[in-house]
Amino acid sequence: MMSQVFLVKIQDSLDGALTQLMKSAGLTGQWKGKSVLIKPNLFEPVSYTTGQTTNPSLVEALIKWCQLQGASKVIVGEGPSYFVPAHNLKECFTKTGITEVVERCQALWVLFDDCTYRTYRDFSPLLPKTFRISEHAFLYDVIINLPVPKTHYLTTVSIAMKNLKGFLKQEDKPLFHRVDLNQAVVELNKIIKPSLNLVDFTIPRQHHQGFLVAGSEIVSVDTVSSALMGLTPQKIRLLKLGYEAGLGEINLRKISIMGEDTKGLKVHYELPSEWLKRHFPLLNIRGHDTACSGCTIPLFSSLGKLADQGKTFTKPLTIILGKENCTGDSPATCVIGNCSSDKLKQRKNVKGCPPKMNEIFNTLAEYVQES
């Protein structure tokens, strides 16, 4: 039997598009009396208009739909990024507009980090030796995984599969970057099983007003979503590993896309490598494939801040991080993090595990001034 993925364009209203999608997927009336957890992407306290977090209007429409279907309770839950300070975690709900819509719908929201976790030890050689998953991943009859489509420097895409990392305890998230992140995300997807994966393509792009993609097989949903992002699914290692693990289909010809024709919906999502080349053509980054998120996230965030300020490097610059074994005496080299800094002490270093984002930014800003 072919995998099924459902696609609907947003035309008159988001509520109407969602209702149409759920009807096409055969979910009308299926969740009566059941508890529902909605897991959006609220990894940082930024607006959905950035394309980084889930649209609160979609969350509201989904809560209302579940309530109309007779769900016994509806809860919206998330565990933000490792880099969000502990005292700011709730801002990932308030500043993204989620708190407002949840309260308006008389539903509930929960910060996973305030709750209990289930500890896993020696679960798989492909996972960290010890890690913790929120008990909220196992408490509900229905989990709706509600990601936004993004590109990522290590996994190529960050959609439904990677959104499940939000269930990890905050301080355990970097551990997944210290093993093979792609393999670790696949293993996590074997533990947490959403009932529905609903991808938020609601931000209007080019010539259409957005659309929704949904399905129960998580790799199939990410495959269709990746193709709609202008990427080739079979070239994405995360999806290949997920397919090999039996989590869905990677061949578009073996996926039945129900509801809409994908023609005319494809949009270009810029890969991190393309973004770097466009904003920093003289920059060479070495070792990012061996570095954990402790170095890569603050580095890319600092580069993004420079780009937002309209700054670039006018002379060649090499940034080294991770376990890169680099030799040479070029003075135009910046070393990020302890893994490389301990080997390359003669260079301009930003030490720390993880290094502080403001120190990385200030160091890079010096190179801009030197240029």
Distance (Å, whole) CA 16 – CA 19: 5
Whether the CB-CB separation of 36 and 73 falls below 8 Å is answered with yes
State residue 346's pLDDT score.
52
State whether CATH 3.30.2130.30 applies to domain 3-258.
Answer: no
State residue 321's pLDDT score.
85
Using DSSP's 3-state secondary structure scheme, residue 248 falls into coil
State residue 1's pLDDT score.
75
Map out the domains of the chain as residue ranges: 3-258, 272-370
State residue 262's pLDDT score.
80
State residue 205's pLDDT score.
64
Using DSSP's 3-state secondary structure scheme, residue 194 falls into coil
**HEC profile of the chain:** CCEEEEEEECCCCHHHHHHHHHHHCCCCCCCCCCEEEEEECCCCCCCHHHCCCCCHHHHHHHHHHHHHCCCCEEEEEECCCCCCCHHHCCHHHHCCCHHHHHHHCCCEEEEHHHCCEEEEECCCCCCCCEEEEEHHHCCCCEEEEECCCEEECCCEEECHHHHHHHHECHHHHHHHHCCCHHHHHHHHHHHCCCCEEEEEECCCECCECCEEEEECCHHHHHHHHHHHCCCCHHHCHHHHHHHHCCCCCCCHHHEEEECCCCCCCCCCCCCHHHHHHHHCCCEEEECCCCCCHHHHHHHHHHHHHHHHCCCCCCCCEEEECCCCCCCCCCCCEEEECHHHHCCCCCCEEECCCCCCHHHHHHHHHHHHHHC
State residue 301's pLDDT score.
85
Contacts of 114 (CB under 8 A, 6+ apart): none
Whether the CB-CB separation of 124 and 133 falls below 8 Å is answered with no
The total of other beta-carbon atoms located within 10 Å of residue 140's CB is: 21
State residue 324's pLDDT score.
63
Distance (Å, whole) CA 97 – CA 81: 17
Distance (Å, whole) CA 217 – CA 143: 13
State residue 342's pLDDT score.
53
State residue 328's pLDDT score.
53
Contacts of 85 (CB under 8 A, 6+ apart): none
Q: What is the pTM of this model?
A: 0.90
Binned average pLDDT, 10 residues per bin, the chain of 371 residues: 92 94 95 98 92 96 98 96 82 96 97 95 96 98 98 93 97 88 96 98 74 97 96 97 98 94 82 91 84 82 90 90 63 79 64 88 85 54
DSSP 129: S
State residue 62's pLDDT score.
98
State residue 134's pLDDT score.
97
